[in-house]
Amino acid sequence: MKIFTISSLVSVMALSLSCAAPTNDKKNTESIIPKNIIMIVGDGMGPAYTTAYRYFNDDPNTEIVEETVFDRNLVGMSSTYPAKVSGYVTDSAASATALSSGIKTYNSAIGVDVNEKPVETVLEWAKIQGKKTAVVVTSQINHATPASYLSHNKSRRNYNEIADSYIDNGIKADLYFGGGWDYFIREDRDLVAQFKQKGFHYIDDYSTLDKLPKNQPILGLFAKQGLPAALDDDNKHRLSALTKAATAQLENINGYFMLVEASQIDWGGHGNDIAASMAEMDDLAKTMEFLEQYVQLHPDTLVVLTADHSTGGFTIGANGEYAWRPEVLKTMKNSTEFIAKQFVNIEVTKKSASELLNFTLTDQEVLQLQKEKVNANEALISFEALSNAEQSKMRKPNVARIIRNTILHMIDKRTNTGWTSSGHTAVDVPVFAFGKESARFNGKLDNTEIAKKIFTLLGKK
């Protein structure tokens, strides 16, 4: 009988494994590359927002607090700090550039490094690899986040320059959905007409989303700047509808890379408007739920969601009270901005206030609204009586803004919501992922690592 030593057995096993291992490195690489990659940014969506959405979405008739799409797809956390020159608190441009390119840069930078030199983005690289590309956002399509994937500019505030670059620097996407008439249809230049000349099909109404021509690039602009707030839009789940239409349009043999941004979570945070933020979170949740189903049917698709930063220093519970009461937020049918504008032109009564806010105000709350409106109008009259020189030294009173602030304080008090800032904060943000190769995004990451991992999955070494 032949006797094998341990060393000879190990040698045989190693040889066997070596013979069994594929020798085609290219084939190995291709096997891990998702056909489709969908990168989602919840602008301003710090961890308090996803937690709050769980309670906002909770069924009060059950004992448990139901799991959300965010809960079941949470895989890690990400740091967000910009380049040292800008300190620890990022803006959307620097963070989006980190997420798109893997490079830290200064606040306001669009697809450039700290020396204002262009850096390659994952969207640009995907296009070079033969994939279709797209951006789907609820801001204008030349806003900080989409611009950081599509363009290169020293400042996010150069909106017209960024819009022009979408034509002048080569068309980099096969589909654009968002707002932006003010920047793409201007007196000095009609970029929409130029996109049409390049073969794009243009739409400006949601009703045509199910009538898009196949095998033709699409430009969809649906508002002057950002889309209407979710609470005010004809379709309160417009991001979900746009994403669904985009996936159907983009499917092709080579796959696609798509950036999706829930842009206005951030706008709600800047305005310290919890009602607006939860409505935007609900739109994003419906988008994620659709994509869960999409990945089941298209398992070669990767979905990654994170935030560029957190906004507003949002707190679930405030003033030392151990409570958060989101119920009132579920009843609102319009944004506080829309409601405040109505109050400028109508009398503030208990009936009108309760009808617009869709919850019953106390007598004290009605009196407070009435008082603030009177004070705001008196301040405006006093301002308008001043000379032009005196007016130039002051900010013109905005009656709607003053009324809105009063409404926001009322909602915060009812819900026991707290805010520490009207700007960004430096807290780490959650990372969510599902689909092919989603495990790569597990654990603690820096935002630059997300881009680097996507570059790798797109075949870049």
Active site positions, annotated: 92
What residues form DSSP beta bridges with 39? 259, 304
DSSP-derived secondary structure letter, 60:
T
Q: And the tokens for 343?
A: 């109050």
Amino acid letter, residue 385: A
What's the CA gap between 159 and 142, in Å, rounded? 6
Q: What does the DSSP assignment read for 293-356? A: HHHHH-TTEEEEEE-S-EETT-EES-TT-----THHHHH--S-HHHHHHHHHHS---HHHHHHH
* Token pair in block for residue 151: 């363009």
Q: What is the DSSP string of 171-224?
A: ---SEEEEE-HHHHB-SS-BHHHHHHHTT-EEE-SGGGGGGPPTTS-EEEE-SS
Q: How far apart are CA 435 and CA 299, in angstroms?
A: 6
Exposure on the CB side of residue 405, measured as CA atoms within 13 A: 11
The runs of H, that is alpha helices, within 385-398 are 388-391
Residues 12-38 as b or e (16 or more Cβ within 10 Å = b): eeeeeeeeeeeeeeeeeeeeebbbbbb
* Phi, psi (degrees; rounded to nearest 5) at 299: -65, -10
Q: Contact 288/69 with Cβ under 8 angstroms?
A: yes
The enclosing H or E element of 401 equals helix 399-415
CB atoms within 10 A of CB 188: 6
Distance CA 429, CA 303 (A): 17
Is 444:77 a contact under the CB 8 Å cutoff? yes
Mapping DSSP to helix (H, G, I), strand (E, B) and coil, where does residue 135 land?
A: strand
Measured CA to CA, the distance from residue 460 to residue 382 in angstroms comes to 63
What angle do helix axes 399-415 and 363-384 make, rounded to 10 degrees? 160
**Contact indicator for 46, 307 with CB cutoff of 8 Å:** yes
